[in-house]
Amino acid sequence: MEPKHLDIFLLRCLTALISEAHVTRAALRMGMTQPAMSATLARLRALFNDPLLVRTEKGMVATARALALAESVRQGIALIDHALVPHDAFDAARADKRFDVAATESVGFVLIPALIAHLRAVAPGLRLRSHVPELARASHELEEGYSDLLISFMRPVPDGLHVSLLLRQKLAVIAARHHPDVRGSVDLEQYTRWPHVYYTRGREGNATLEATVDEALAAVGLDRRIGAWQPSILSSAAVVAASDMLATVPEHLARHFEATAGVQVLPPPVPMPDVDIAMYWHDRMHKDPAHQWLRGALRDVAARVRAA
């Protein structure tokens, strides 16, 4: 292979293909059509004299050659990106720029509207595109520049990422305002007897929040009945309001549902740890002035949410 036949865009496509192991998803990440990405994959295969991705019963998987290339290519792209970043002071009030933020649903519900309102007030030329991440690939999204920030429940930090705590929330139980049995408080017997609405994250399975609740019950030798599984924590509140089921959600969400969805908010009948919301970013963006400004703005927004 002649290196002169490779350009930075081809290398970005290569990392997207290896990370996604799926031509259509890689095309979406790169803003291309699926046929264009298929043609790019064919070109890369010819350049590297390797299939790079091969089809199996479980879908496409990267070859050994592709996996060996992946980390070096990502590091090279990060170095190029860093070299091209302007290091002048960032004037947010005049800037015309889009930030891409990955935020889990409940976290986004609490912080993203407040962040957008803040941007409109102090930096109207800044725009925000947010999406719900597939957490298994979230670190790759940050590494490859698909996301500028990840806002999520706090979790172990992979190499190459920075983390900053934004918000600490207690958990609360919600029940219908006119529940047949639960009124003003919920004891452990009621909590385990009445069915729960369980928030699931699509193909990834149980949400971190639900695992936290299950672990707290397991610590006292109990578990709970699941009456419904919902892909959205917001729809969970609607199910609770219309039924005799319970749900356990972060307190900021619970108070919103109390005011809008006809539910009562109750303390859990068993000790449960607080849930921490943090933001994560890749090392290549750590010193970028625009990114530093965004992180500061998000910290300010989180402080106002905490004080509300």
DSSP secondary structure, 227-257, as one string: EEEES-HHHHHHHHHTSS-BEEEEHHHHHHH
Residue 62 scores a pLDDT above 90: no
179-231 tens-digit pLDDT: 999 999 999 999 999 999 998 876 555 677 888 999 999 999 999 999 999 98
Both 248 and 200 in one domain: the answer is yes
- Asked if residue 91 is part of any domain, the answer here is no
Last residue of a domain, one of 57, 84, 111: 84
- Looking at the fold, whether 206 and 268 belong to one and the same domain comes out as yes
Whether the pLDDT of residue 156 is over 80: the answer is no
275 - beta bridge partners? 169
**CB burial of residue 5 (10 Å; 0-12, 13-18, 19+):** exposed
Final residue before a domain boundary, out of 84, 108, 138: 84
- 176 and 259 in contact (C-beta within 8 Å)? no
Report yes or no on 300 lying in a domain: yes
Mean pLDDT score, 246-264: 92
Residue 142 structure tokens: 């940050």
Read off the pLDDT band of 104 (50, 70, 90): confident
Cα 132 to Cα 1, 103, 119, 168, 169, distances in angstroms: 38, 5, 20, 20, 20
Q: Is the pTM of this model over 0.75?
A: no
What is the model's pLDDT at position 244?
A: 97
Residue 248 token pair: 């356990």
Does residue 44 have a pLDDT over 70? yes
- Whether residue 223 lies inside any domain: the answer is yes
In a domain, 89, yes or no: no
What per-residue confidence (pLDDT) applies to 194?
Answer: 97
The enclosing domain of 36 has a CATH number of 1.10.10.10
Residues 6+ apart with CB under 8 A from 104: 132, 133, 135, 151, 152, 153
Which residues, at least 6 apart from 135, have a Cβ–Cβ distance to it below 8 Å?
A: 104, 152, 155, 201, 204
Q: Tell which of 54, 84, 114 closes a domain.
A: 84
> Is the domain of 176 the same as that of 268?
yes
In a shared domain, residues 287 and 262: no
Q: For 93-117, b where at least 16 C-beta lie within 10 A, e where not — what string?
A: eeeeeebbbbbbbbbbbbbbebbee
pLDDT classification of 88: cutoffs 50, 70, 90: low
Same domain, 269 and 290: no
**CA pair distance 181, 183, nearest whole angstrom:** 6
Q: What CATH number should be reported for the domain holding residue 142?
A: 3.40.190.10
Structure tokens at 308: 């509300």
Q: Which residues contact 59 (CB under 8 A, 6 or more apart)?
A: 21, 22
pLDDT level of residue 126 (50, 70, 90 thresholds): very high
pLDDT at 82: 63
Q: What is the number of alpha carbons within 13 Å of residue 140 lying toward its C-beta?
A: 19
The answer, yes or no, to whether residue 3 has pLDDT greater than 60, is: no
Q: Which of 18-27, 82-91, 99-108 has the lowest mean pLDDT?
A: 82-91
Domain range holding 219?
Answer: 171-273
Residues 128 and 205 in one domain: no
Q: Do residues 154 and 175 both lie within one domain?
A: no
Label residue 21 left, alpha or beta by phi (over 0 means left) and psi (-120 to 50 means alpha): left
In this predicted structure, the answer to whether residue 250 has a pLDDT above a threshold of 60 is yes
pLDDT reported for residue 81:
66
Q: Are residues 178 and 264 in the same domain?
A: yes
**What average pLDDT score do residues 13-32 get?**
83
Q: Identify the band that residue 85 occupies on the pLDDT scale cut at 50, 70 and 90.
A: low
Domain count, the chain: 3
From residue 143, how far is each of 1, 42, 66, 73 by CA, in Å? 26, 24, 17, 11
Percent of the chain exceeding pLDDT 70 equals 94
What is the rounded average pLDDT of the residues 104-133?
91
Give the separation between CA 63 and CA 69, rounded to whole angstroms: 10
- Give the pLDDT of residue 291: 93
Quick one: 126 and 260 in the same domain? Answer: no
Question: Pick from 172, 155, 157: which is nearest to 276 by CA?
Answer: 155
Residue 239 identity (one-letter amino acid): V
Do both 152 and 225 map to the same domain?
no
Tell which residue, 201, 195, 191, has the closest CA to residue 230. 201
182 and 268, same domain (yes or no): yes
Whether residue 92 is contained in a domain is answered as no
pLDDT confidence of residue 125: 94
How large is the average pLDDT for residues 29-51?
Answer: 87
29, 116: one domain:
no
Instruction: Tell me how many degrees the CA angle 305-255-215 measures, rounded to the nearest 5.
Output: 95
Q: What's the average model confidence in pLDDT over 15-38?
A: 84
pLDDT averaged over every residue in the chain: 87
